[in-house]
Structure 1
Amino acid sequence: MALSFFRSNIIVRHVKRQLYQNKRNAGYLVLIPEIGEDADKNILLSDNGLPEFNDITIEKCIAAISKQSMEYESGVKQIEQFTQNCKNAFIEIFQPLEKLDSQLELTWGMAKALYLGNSSLMPTKSYIQIHERAHKARSSKFNSIPIYQAAVDEKNRLKKLTDEEQRLLDKYILEGKLNGLDIKGIKRERLNNVLGSLQKEKQIFREKVNAANKLFTNTITNPDVLREFPESLIKSMAGNNDPNKGPWQVTLQPHIYEPFMQYCPDRSLRWNAWQANVQKCSNYINKELETSSNLEKIRNFRQEQATILGFDNFVDMSMETKMAGSIENVYNMLDSFLETALPMQEVEIELLQRFAHERGFDVKLEHWDIPYWQRKQKWSLYNFDEDKIREYFPLPRVISNLFNLCSKLFNIKIIERSGVHTWHKDVKFYDVYDDSSNLPVAGFYLDPYARQNEKIRVYDDAGWHISVRNKCKTTSTTPLSALIFNFQAPDGKNQSLLSFNEVSVLFRRFGHALRHLLTKANYSEVAGLSNVEWDAAEVCGHVMTHWLYDPHTIQEISSHYRSDEPLPDDIMKNLQNVRRHMSGYELCRELYLSRLDLEMHSKKTFWRDLVRELWPKYNVLPFDKYDSHPLSFSKVISEEWGAAYYCHLWSRMIAADIYSAFEEARQGEQDIVTVGKRYRDTFLAHGGSCHPSEVFRRFRGRDPSPHALLNNLGLSKIIVEE
């Protein structure tokens, strides 16, 4: 990173995002021991080469990461000595760096799995210590001018490179460029100051938003308000109180606020929560938690950072790590979607207004009414209730048939292995076998159940995939992953039952994991999910979720947990309708936020003026003059998604186009297994070792199109084909 670190044991938070960095960041000043008493022992691995999870302690993790980090930094310095007279950078520099990465990566991955899987064994404060130390060490190679120059020299040699070698060199060169390694003197000093100030403002922004989320509470004492609420929401709102007696608390925490807005029949209560949510961090609520000044400072610092590094603006800098390549390409994608989504949104709002009016709602729909009536309309039209559909998705059946689907499509076998040490008795370990090999090509842990006070819970992201270890030919290591969820645990009488949304989360995370587990790349730095452009990172996860709209797949993974009766035909047929319900409205929201993010990071216009300008272009409902939603838009302002919010939509577009190849195979003469093999040989095999645009062309034979996603969302009928 473009920052000089103190030589003492004080670890300073990195002030600029590392390319392809883990997205969990925290801004703390922490003290950790450089070497622990157990540092010389092989304390974290079993004889089978897997982590010794049942014997891991915080002290052992800190001792190991401290020792490995020091060895890593020392190793980088030793490698630097061989750069001047280097004849072959891959053999003399990059392969030794791969060896350095191996142990540090594994220990770091183990700590991350513990942190998300059992925070009582790895509390947040302890994980931050380990994360910061490992992150500092690993970034040293991307802040090395000799290694950066060696990559440049190797690329300039007149020799033919493989796709993977080219991508490896490009990664080191781009990392060095974005870290300012080719900037000297006063400009370099100013860059360091800008990045330090930027990190400080982002931390202040985060803290204010977190405080604002906790500030609002509204107590409900009338149980009639909760008559339609799902049991899980009632329990969350009750806290430590009796869920049957209350009182119940409305908060702005996403896992409470979002379902509350969908189920609360009292309009005044919905308005109260909505206005608190959209006005938080504004002068209207609490001036001490106002973030407008912090947001503008962050925008200015990002602009200055980009200018120093030679870019016109922060968006242009961001595009260096994106498949889209330019803001023009992104705008073309957004505009093509808006052309069909906005007219559909107008129709949807009109139909929803009519639906509500027929049920006694005699005023005009406002923002705080949409989630409630949207849910009611969905149930009325399609008899679809997320909470009731659980009975047809017992977790063991879903997992078993998910594995069967992958075996069929990708010619692999997934087999549980017993006797493996894990961080909890609920965790299982699976080996992944290629049909052509008797030895496993990869392995993963599966930790499915919610455990109160042990697991971190995020409402809109109900699971994690953790890359514990990458594939690496130099060290002969195979990929290792952990999949961690917060699904309903079995209660002794009943199995774990999933909502359809949770089934989708499971499929998406597993599809994401397959890219890590089935990679064929040789260098860990570009294997699997490493080095994949941000807007292509979620593609493989979304591809897998498309199978949930295939009637045969749904039939295989579902049956009533008591009677074994299949999912009713009407619900199965309506799954596609449910996905398309108010899709224009939902898509326009994503388009608006994507455009707002890009304009905030490419223009100097004050944020509120940008909102007023953009809002009517994407939203049918009028803008509320007190709405200050950008002031709590943490994902792009204080986290790692600045100038990158559009990536989620881009990944969905690519994934829909990929899956359409399977649909075409069903309708034509080609076998879907043939398409599955081609998908494995391209997207799953290449990972970050080939540019995703080229990978897509090798799979699809052309460039991507938005038509497949529009078709899935029921918006394609408006398209006028050229």
Structure 2
Amino acid sequence: MSMLIRSGRILCSKKLLTVNPRNVGYIVLLPEIGDDTSKDQLSQSNGLPEFGNYTIENCTAAIARQTLEFESAVRKIERDIASSNINIEKDVLERLELISSPLELTWGISKTLYFGNNTLIPTKTYLPIHERARRARITKYNNIKIYNAVRNALSSEKEMDSEVKTVLKKFSLEGKLNGLNLKENELQMLKECLNKLTSEKHVLKQKIEVQTHQFSHTITEYNTVRDFPKDLLEITSMDSRNYLNGPWKITLQPNIYIPTMQYCPDREIRWNLWHRIVTRGSGYLDRDKATGIHIEEIRYQRHEVAKLLGYDTFADMSMETKMAGSVENVKKTINILLEKAKPAQDLEMKKLYDFSVENGFKYDRLELWDVPYWRKRQELLKHGFNSEEYKKYFPYPKVLQGLFQLCEKLFNVVLKHRKEVSTWHKDVKYYDVLEPHCSAPVAGFYLDPYARKDNKIHNLNSDGWMISIQNKSRICDKIPLAALIFNFDLPSNDSPSHLSIKDVNSLFYRFGHALQHLLTRTSFSEVAGLSNVEWDMVGVCGHVFTHFLYNEDTLKSISCNLDTGEKLPINMINSFLEVRKHMAGYDLSKELYLSALDLELYSKKDYWLKVVRNLWPQFRSFPLDKQDAHLCSFTQIFTEEWAAAYYSHVWSRMIASDVYGAFQEAEGDENQMKDVGRRFRETFLALGGSVESAKIFRHFRGRDHSHQSFLNYLGLDSNK
């Protein structure tokens, strides 16, 4: 999930970026504020953002003014805390809520424009806005007097509302993770560690980006690309107008590398691509581009940060913001899943090798660069699954209609398109979220579905975004607002946009993610929706919704061949349901390996190569190639936000499978299904970060979580 979208939370693996001096006020760099922009200019009479009036100038001016006002208001609260009669809820938390609201809204609007209309807010403009807003907001968590007032309130014997207590705990933890309980010399050491860490991450990231962009391979023979999907031919062709004639330029960008490995029949080309991607950062071709020294320095600095903050290891510190709770719990889960995944992987590789030999493979064994190609061939020839054939059954309007109907049926809400709302493009639509007991909308969201090459960001590593524009706040009387932004194909003159299976999955996932933001019922924005939800639980609601795609009734409700009126045929439904289990052991073993590798690197001091060599044979069915240095470019855990948290990808899917199991158990009984939907609405969607996820799960399921549903979903049933 994008750091920009998650910026509402300070998390120990990413956000220890700024340490402010204590008890000496704040050093504020005054930006150019420019002409004042009144609230009326930027809001419609209905209270929604007036996107049509937003410009680079007034976004920059608004952020500049609001950040100064916010920092000034924090200082005022700090001074008022000296009063012995302070009420922590009224005089601190509610005041912080009120002063945060304008800044958060402008920041949310700026993010939306950045992703939705990059000509209005280009990258060079947005990044300073983002950084200025982030620096301002962190002052409320970095204030020693607010921190001490919060701790005093938590240690008192006074009765308090459970949500207020959760907000106080959030401030207390984030203050601790920002070093507010350290002595002055320790605080200086923390600052030096963080500065060094930032520098090392920057250098490592640059080295990998350079090596990724430097490589390309040109294909001149059409026979080599004959099986490429049309969209892959178009993006690789050096002449997009004549994409069938070539030549075709293959790079290491994910949207090119991954499908090329799946569709390219030339084994030598596949090896060349694989070799170049796993040797990035190794120094194999260029010693100056080696990243090993930076990896070790990043690990060391994170370990030092953890020790200063009172933790044995950085992995232990990371668990402060995770449902799993401890490294031991994560490792135990990894081992339980591996007991079924590894034998399944071994059997899958044997079957894949036999299949490849039957179809012309002439080597003694399959290698890692062979698997994607023969896997795709096996899906097509043995399972009858061709993803390209499904697209004609998923017209965007039909898919959206089916998704909305599913949501309305499960959660007793109405999603209604509202016209005459200012947006950033004519294709964007705004929807009210309405509930039976309330005539006014309880939330609203913008939906921007189509790709626009000229003014819309197309991130190669993301298939869509859910942006929190405004959090729910009872104190500020604000409803949740969100933006869902995708890059689906544009409709033609006589035909609507048609979605690929990947597109449909993305739409369901992001929509489920958005519902947790939109249907929250908390009072404080600090714990509303996705705010304060544990990292390893953030993706759960999105994954729950993707599970509905493997329900036959759902597939029929979102599918329609516009030429024939036919729903998705039963044989294609069966192939789709079956293919999710194809190579499930291989895929899960790989994810478990990366999860274990991440935790081990941030739990132990062993040299990185020793860690890799020790873990690899436990998880993978291939010998480790002597030139394979995949860890050297594993940027997710070194330069991004997943340090000691990579396991969260598997964890959230495991929990989502168990949650969806309740819906499965109710299938065929409409009343039971509605009851499960109501419980899901009242727990996961309503409570957000106001209650620990483990308690929410117990309340929903009536028990602790289990791995069994996840194994069943993948066809790795532990009883078999």
TM class by smaller structure: over 0.9
Task: Measure the CA separation in 2 of the matches of 1:411 and 1:101.
Answer: 32
Shift of 1:204: 1.2
- Residues 371-414 of structure 1 show CA distances to partners (whole Å, capped at 9, x for unaligned) of 01101101112221222210001110000110000000000000
Hey, what does 1:484 align to over in structure 2? 485
How far did residue 37 of structure 1 move?
1.2
Query: Does the residue aligned with 1:415 lie in a helix, a strand or coil?
Result: strand
CA distances 1:543-578 after superposition (whole Å, capped 9, x unpaired):
111111111111110111322211111111222211
Q: Where do 5+ consecutive residues of structure 1 fail to align? A: 1-12
What is the CA–CA distance in structure 2 between the aligned matches of 1:23 and 1:228, rounded to whole Å?
A: 41
- Shift in Å at residue 33 of structure 1? 2.8
* Partner SS for 1:688: coil
- Counterparts of 2:9 and 2:406 in 1: how far apart (Å)? 36
Aligned partners of 1:187, 1:109: CA distance in 2, in Å? 35
Query: For structure 1, which segment, 284-293 or 364-373, has the greater mean C-alpha deviation from structure 2 after superposition?
Result: 284-293
Query: Cα 1:541–1:371, aligned 2, differ >3 Å: closer, same or farther?
Result: same
CA displacement 1:243-264 (0-9 Å, x = unmatched) = 2322211100111101110011
Map residues 129-278 of structure 1 onto 2, 5 A cutoff: 129-239=128-238, 241=240, 242-278=242-278
Distance in 2 separating the partners of 1:682 and 1:602? 34
1:659 match: 660
C-alpha change, 1:456 and 1:337, in structure 2 (3 Å) is: same
Instruction: Classify the secondary structure of the residue corresponding to 1:580.
Output: coil
Q: Which residue of 1 aligns with 2:124?
A: 125
Amino acid at match of 2:444: G
Partner of 1:432: 433
Looking at structure 1, the residues matched to 291 and 8 of structure 2 have their Cα atoms a distance apart, in angstroms, of 21
> Which of 16, 34, 37 is 1:36 aligned to?
34
Alpha carbons of structure 1 residues 32 and 451: separation in structure 2 relative to 1, 3 Å? farther
Report the CA distance shift for 1:188/1:567 in structure 2 as closer, same or farther (over 3 A): same
Deviation (angstroms), 1:86: 4.2
* Correspondences of 1:481-560 after superposition (within 5 Å): 481-560=482-561
Mapped partners of 1:26, 1:223: distance in 2? 50
The residue type paired with residue 203 of structure 1 is: H
Equivalent residues of 2:520, 2:529 under 8 A apart: yes
Give the structure 2 partner of residue 391 of structure 1: 392
Distance 1:472 1:543, change over 3 A: same
- Please give the secondary structure, in 2, of the residue aligned with 1:490: coil
Instruction: Find the counterpart in structure 1 of residue 99 from structure 2.
Output: 100
In 1, Cα distance between equivalents of 2:16 and 2:432: 31
- Does the 8 Å CA contact 1:515/1:683 hold for their aligned counterparts? yes
Q: What CA distance in whole angstroms lies between the structure 2 residues aligned with 1:147 and 1:131? A: 24
TM-score scaled to structure 1, two decimals? 0.95
Alignment partners' CA distance in 2, 1:347 and 1:461: 32
Q: State the partner residue of 1:683.
A: 684
User: 1:162 Cα shift?
Assistant: 2.9
Q: What is the CA-CA distance between 1:50 and the residue it aligns to?
A: 1.1
Letter aligned with residue 289 of structure 1: K
Which of 81, 84, 92 is the matching residue for 1:83? 81
| Match of residue 64, structure 1, among 50, 58, 62 | 62
Q: Is the 8 A contact 2:410 2:673 kept in 1?
A: yes
1:692 is the counterpart of 2:693: yes
More displaced stretch, 559-568 vs 89-98: 559-568
Which segment drifts farther, 518-527 or 557-566? Answer: 557-566
Question: For residue 53 of structure 1, what is the aligned residue in structure 2?
Answer: 51
**Secondary structure, counterpart of 1:282 in structure 2:** coil
The verdict on how the C-alpha distance between 1:423 and 1:239 changes in structure 2, with shifts beyond 3 A counting, is farther
1:282–1:22 Cα change, 3 Å = closer
Report deviation, 1:670.
Answer: 6.0
User: How far apart, in 2, do the equivalents of 1:190 and 1:606 lie?
Assistant: 24
How many Å apart are 1:456 and its aligned residue? 2.4
Distance in 1 (CA, whole Å) between partners of 2:71 and 2:59 is 18
SS at match of 1:285: coil
* Cα separation, 2, equivalents of 1:32 and 1:18: 25
8 Å CA contact retained: 1:31, 1:129: no
Cα distance per residue 1:511-548 (max 9 Å; x no partner): 00000000000000000010000001000000111111
1:329 aligns with 329
Equivalence for 2:345:
345
| Residues 21 and 392 (structure 1), Cα distance of their counterparts in 2 relative to 1, 3 Å cut | farther
Q: Do the aligned residues in 2 keep the contact of 1:86 with 1:92 (CA within 8 Å)?
A: no
Query: Which runs of structure 1 show a deviation greater than 3 angstroms over 4 or more consecutive aligned residues?
Result: 20-27, 39-43, 239-242, 667-670
Confirm or deny that 1:113 pairs with 2:112.
yes
Q: CA deviation at 1:240?
A: 5.1
In structure 2, relative to structure 1, the CA distance for the partners of 1:575 and 1:25 (3 Å cut) is: farther
* Separation of aligned partners in 2, 1:294 and 1:210: 15
- Render the CA deviation track for 1:410-429: whole Å, top value 9, x for unaligned: 00000001111111111111
Residue 151 of structure 2 aligns to which amino acid in structure 1? V
How many correspondences in the alignment? 703
Task: Kindly state the Cα deviation for residue 643 of structure 1 after the two structures are TM-superposed.
Answer: 0.3
Do 1:474 and 1:523's aligned partners in 2 also have CA atoms closer than 8 Å? Answer: yes
Identity %: 47
Cα drift, residue 210 of structure 1: 1.2
Distance 1:18 1:672 in 2: 34
Q: CA 1:40–1:547 in structure 2 vs 1: closer, same or farther (change >3 Å)?
A: closer
* Cα distance in 2, alignment partners of residues 595 and 80 from structure 1: 43
Instruction: Work out whether residues 43 and 60 of structure 1, in 8 Å CA contact, stay in contact via their aligned partners in 2.
Output: no
Whole-angstrom CA distance in 2 between matches of 1:424 and 1:711: 43
1:663 is displaced (CA, Å) by 1.1
Amino acid at match of 1:377: Q
CA distance in 2, matches of 1:361, 1:133: 57
Instruction: Note the alpha carbon deviations across 1:141-165, whole angstroms, 9 max, x for none.
Output: 0000111111111111212233311
CA contact (8 A) 1:539 1:651 kept: yes
| Equivalent position of 2:445 in the other structure | 444
Matched, 1:637 2:650: no
| Counterpart-to-counterpart distance in 2, 1:230 and 1:357 | 25
TM-score if structure 2 supplies the norm length?
0.95
SS in 2 for 1:485: strand
Task: Output the CA distance in 2 between the equivalents of 1:669 and 1:515.
Answer: 23
Q: How much does 1:435 deviate?
A: 1.6
Q: Indicate the RMSD between aligned Cα atoms, in angstroms.
A: 2.0
**Residues 682 and 657 from structure 1, CA distance in 2 versus in 1: closer, same or farther, beyond 3 angstroms?**
same
The DSSP-based 3-state class of the residue aligned with 1:382 is: coil
Once the two structures are superposed, residues 63-119 of structure 1 have per-residue CA deviations (whole angstroms, 9 ceiling, x without a partner) of: 000000000000000011222324420111100100111110010001101111111
2:580 corresponds in structure 1 to: 579
Gap change, CA 1:18 and 1:529, over 3 Å in 2? closer
- How many angstroms apart in 2 are the aligned matches of 1:315 and 1:271? 35
CA, structure 1 residues 55+433, in 2 after alignment: closer, same or farther (shift >3 Å)?
same
Between the aligned partners of 1:233 and 1:35, the Cα distance in structure 2 is 45
Q: Which amino acid aligns with 1:19?
A: I
Q: What do residues 215-259 of structure 1 show as CA deviations (whole Å, max 9, x unaligned)?
A: 101111111111110111111112555323222111001111011
Matched with 1:4 is: none
Q: Counterparts of 2:582 and 2:575 in 1: how far apart (Å)?
A: 10
Partner SS for 1:645: coil
Match of 2:25 in 1: none
Shift of 1:26: 12
The Cα offsets for residues 300-348 of structure 1, whole Å up to 9 and x where unpaired, read as 0000000000100000000000000000110111011000000000010
Deviations 1:333-369 (A, max 9, x none): 1011000000000010000001110011121211101
**What secondary structure, in the 3-state scheme, does the structure 1 residue paired with 2:382 have?**
helix
